Structure 1
């Protein structure tokens, strides 16, 4: 009967675990209320885990990285205390943003991902994209007359991560569409941006100087700007592996 009622009420964890927890309650001489509390706690915990997994999938991370995966000793430029504070998520409540500036291989994307994963774990809606993918999505949407729907999708996320700003120069039309998303989110929700370019060189991405200035103004307003340096962690740690590769013998 419990099995049937739990199924009717959509309580899969109760349905699966009520017998095992009842046996445990008998062994430990728990009261009926303690048994019921343990059963409901298990249901709530598993629902929370399922929701977190769903948020992590919906965020579309290219690779899953958590804060404990980042080795601060490999890049002393990154302020560990600041990252730990940001991981708590208060800056998202305050509708602030984070900008990571540094050369390729200095940990920008990994740090952005770890903060975004923390946001998912806190129950927030997150979306991860590269600047190129964002521009492509917006241009395709405009071509199919679905621009407002797609802009709204990016605007609804509590945290939007825009990775790899600086890898490509945006065509004029695409640059304006990206600016539309940034403007839509301005002071309403949070952004994380990673870039290899100093702000003075953002005209390489947004060719119109006035548009580039407007983008910088909106992104840097209420932003935590973190410089990750110029020395590539990947390059430095790849050298020993390259040294071990066999070389061809000359005859």
Structure 2
């Protein structure tokens, strides 16, 4: 996420993670009885960038753990989410409507939603580099 890179270059503490990796880490932390420490670590960074949210189905436990991280960060530090799915498409990821609504609420309260369209940023970057290489 370019936003995270720019923030880090300005001296902010930034953590980037894939949504599935974050949830897996939280599940493992819960199993090993150090969930509070893991959530606190994610709560301390200035900007948490979560990529690819909306692709994988999360069970209720995974959704609850993600909710805890977002709640820990609420009104304290920023969260940037990258997803090719609109909020309406998150029914596959968050099958429990209550958690889906709560997570969307946490993410959108006092937030800014930037829609870039359906075109892939990665594909556009690759094409631009290829065109630049051909021209150069």
TM norm structure 1: 0.48
Matched, 1:127 2:127: no
Distance in 1, Cα, partners of 2:68 & 2:18: 16
CA–CA separation in structure 2 for the residues paired with 1:162 and 1:227: 16
Matches for 1:36-115 after TM superposition, within 5 Å: 113-115=1-3
Question: Is residue 210 of structure 1 aligned with residue 103 of structure 2?
Answer: no
| Deviation beyond 2 Å, 4+ runs, structure 1 | 235-238
Q: Is residue 237 from structure 1 mapped to residue 119 from structure 2 by the alignment?
A: no
Who is 1:159 aligned against?
47
> Displacement of 1:198 after TM fit?
1.4
Task: Give the 3-state SS of the residue equivalent to 2:33 in structure 1.
Answer: coil
**C-alpha RMSD of the superposition:** 2.0
Number of matched pairs: 128
CA contact (8 A) 2:84 2:118 kept: no
Mapped to 1, the partners of 2:24 and 2:18 lie a distance apart of 10
Q: Which has the larger radius of gyration?
A: 1
Normalised TM-score (structure 2): 0.86
* Distance change >3 Å, CA 232–CA 115, structure 1 → 2: closer
In the alignment, is residue 222 of structure 1 matched against residue 125 of structure 2?
no
Q: Which runs of 5+ in 1 are unaligned?
A: 1-112, 241-251
Partner of 1:91: none
- Structure-2 separation of matches of 1:166 and 1:225: 15
